[in-house]
Chain A
Amino acid sequence: MSEPARRPPVRSAGSAALSSASDRVFQVLILALASVIVLVFVLSVYQLGREAWPALGAFGLRFFTERTWNPVEGTFGAATMIVGTLVTSLAALAISVPLAVASALFVAEYAPKWLANPVGYLVELLAAVPSVVYGLWALFVLAPILARWQTTFFNPDLYPERFALFTRCSALWAENQTSLQCLFVPNSAAGRGLALAIIILTVMILPYTASVARDVIRLVPADQREAMYALGATKWEVISRAILPYARAGILGGVILALGRALGETLAVAMVIGDSQEILRSIWGNASTMASVIANQFGDAQERLHRSSVVALGLTLFFLSVIVNYAARLIIARLTPKGIQ
C-alpha cells in the first residue's frame, strides 16, 4: 500500500495509483487461488507419503518385488498387482491403438462431413461413459459371453485333448511353473478375469488415443497429401507413407495419454478382474491391479500395516501416472504450438 503512494508523481493521475494498488490486490487474490492447485499436489504427496510410510519402512524395496500379499500373515508385496496393472494396460493399449488410429483416419480422411461429425461425437461420448457403467455392462453382458466361450471351446467332454492340456497345466501350476500354452486354459466359470478386464479397458481408453490421433492427423499439411496424390498414389499409400509418418509423434503422445488412463482405471477393472493375488497364469484367470486392490481392500483394511500397504499402492500409482502423463503432455505440447496456437 505504501509503495504505490510514492508513485503518483510519475503517473499522470491519482487514479493510476489506486488502480495499481487494486491490481496488486487482485493479482495476489488470483495467485492465492491458483496456488491451491500446487497445494493440492503437495498435500497429496504428503498425505500419501505419510500413510504409506509404515509399509514402505517395513518392507523397503521388497514391497515392489515381493509376490505375497497376505493380510492374515501381515506380508505385503505389490509385485502381482504391478504385473497385473502393466499386463492389463499394455494389452489393452496394444488392441486399442490400431482401432483408435483407424477410427481417427476414418473421421479425418474417409468420412464425408455429415458422417465425420457424428462419428467424432460418438467417440467422444465413449470417453464420457462412467467407469462403473462400463463395469456394470461388462459384468452383466460380456462376462456371460466369455463364460460361454470358455465352456464351449474347452469343454472336457467335447475336447478331451484340450482337457489333457488343462490337467497338464494344473500340474505345472502346482509346481509353480507356467507355460505359454497354458495362457489360454479356461479358469473362471463366471467369465470374470484378466481377459474381461483387458477388453473393457480397451474400450475405455479408445477415445483418448482416437481424439488425439484425429487432431494430429488433421494437422498434417494438405501439401503432404496433394503431393503424393499428384504422383498417382492411392489413398492408402498416402495414409501409410505421408500422413501416418507425419503424425507419428503426436499419435504416440495420445497413446501414452491412454496408457496413463489405463494404469489408473479403477472400478470397471475392479468389478471384473476377479480380485485374486495370483500372478498371471491364464488370461481367463483372476488377477488384480493396483487400483482394483485399493478399491476392493481399503475400506476393509483394519490393520495399520495393511492399510498402509494399500496407500503405498496408491502412492506408486500416483507417481506412475505423473510420469506417464507428463511424458504424454510433453510430446503433445511439443507438437501443438506449430499447428494450433
Chain B
Amino acid sequence: MSEILITGARLYGTGDPVDVLVADGHIAEIAAVGATAAPKSARLLRAQGRVLLPGFVDLHTHLREPGREDTETIETGSAAAALGGYTAVFAMANTDPVADNAVVVEHVWRRGREVGLVDVHPVGAVTVGLAGERLAELGTMAKSAAGVRMFSDDGHCVSDPLLMRRALEYSTALDVVVAQHAEEPRLTVGAQAHEGERASRLGYAGWPSSAEETIVARDCLLARHAGARLHVCHVSTSGTVDVLSWAKELGTDVSAEVTPHHLLLTDERLATYDPVNKVNPPLRAERDVLALRRALADGVLDCVATDHAPHAPQDKDSEWAAARPGMLGLQTALSIVVETMLRPGLLDWRGVARVMSERPAEIAGLPDQGRPLAQGEPANLVLVDPDAEWTVRGGELASIAANTPYEGMRLPAVVSATLLRGRLTSLEGKIV
C-alpha cells in the first residue's frame, strides 16, 4: 500500500504543526515538520493551517437502501459521509424490507464494503418489522457477518415497557447496545411540531417534551434494572438532559446523542411553513437548544449523531402535515458543531473529536475507530480547514435528496480530506 505524508497539520488543533506519515492503513510516524522518514514515493498532503482529527463516526444515519434508492443509496450516502469527514456510519433499520434479520443486515454491510468509502454498520431492528410486538433475532444479527453492534426501531419507539425490558435484558448476553427513539406514542398522536406557543398559534398539534422525557426516564430505570446498555437517540429537550444527568449519577449505563439541527435550529422555523424544517423529534425552543449545547459540552450528552434523513421532493414539498420528517445531515454536521459549540467556546477541537469520533466509537464498540492520533493507530482520519467557509447548496450535496434546512447558509469549517484505513476517500470536496 502506498504511503501518504500529511504535512504541517495540527493534531486536535493544538501544538506545533507536525508531519504524519500514513502507511499500511496505520499512522506510521508523527514527527516535526520535515523530520519523518517518508519515502520519496509518498503522496504529499499539504495541511498547513489544517486540523487533524480521528475520522467521525455517525451512530444515526438513514441510507434508505434497500427500498428507497430514489432518495439515497449506500453508495451516495457513503459519499456524503466521506465528504463530511466520516469513516464509519450506522445505517438505521427502517428500510424496506426492514433490517430485522441477518439477510438484510448482511446485504447492507456487504454493499458498504463494496463501495468502500466508509464503514457501513447496519443497525438491527429491535422488533420484527419495527412493529413493537416481538423481538427480532438479535443474536442471529449480532453473530452474522455484519456483526451488528446496535439495535434500534428508530422512527418508532419501543413503547411497550415489558418488551423494552426484555430487549435490554436479552442484549446483555450479546454485548450490544439498544438505541431508543424516545417518543411515548399516546402523547404524540397527530403531533406535527414542538408543543409550545408557536405551534399553538399556527394550529399544529403539539409534540410535548414530556413524551420524550417519560420514555427516557423509564428506559434508564429499565436499563439499570437489567444491567444493560441503553443509548438514547436524538435528545431534544432540556428535561431529557435533566433525566440523563440524574440517571448517570445513579450509575446507569446510558449514553445519548444530539443532532446538529437540535443544536442550532429552533421552532421559530415553523413560521416558514416549509416542511424542510419538519423533523422528529421536532425542533424545540431556544432554552432547549441552549441546554443541549451545555449538556454536550459537559458530557451529559455523549456525542453528535446526524439523523441524516434523505427524502424525495414530493415527500417534502407539500403541506406540513403530509411531509415526512427528517433532513440531510452528513455533510453539514461538522460545520454546525463548529458554529454551535466550537465558536462559542463550549468545545475545543479535542472536544469535537470526543463528541464526533471517540465517544460514538466507544458506544458502538468499534475497536478501530475514534482512536487517538498516535503512532501505530489505525489511519481513520479527517483533515479540517478551520478557517474556510462554504455555502450550502442542497443540489450540490452528494445525497440524491436535497432536503437541507441550511440551503444558502454560509457555514464555517470545511473538510479537506478523509482517510479510511490510510486511503483517501475524499479530498477537497471530491470523492477520491
A and B interact = no
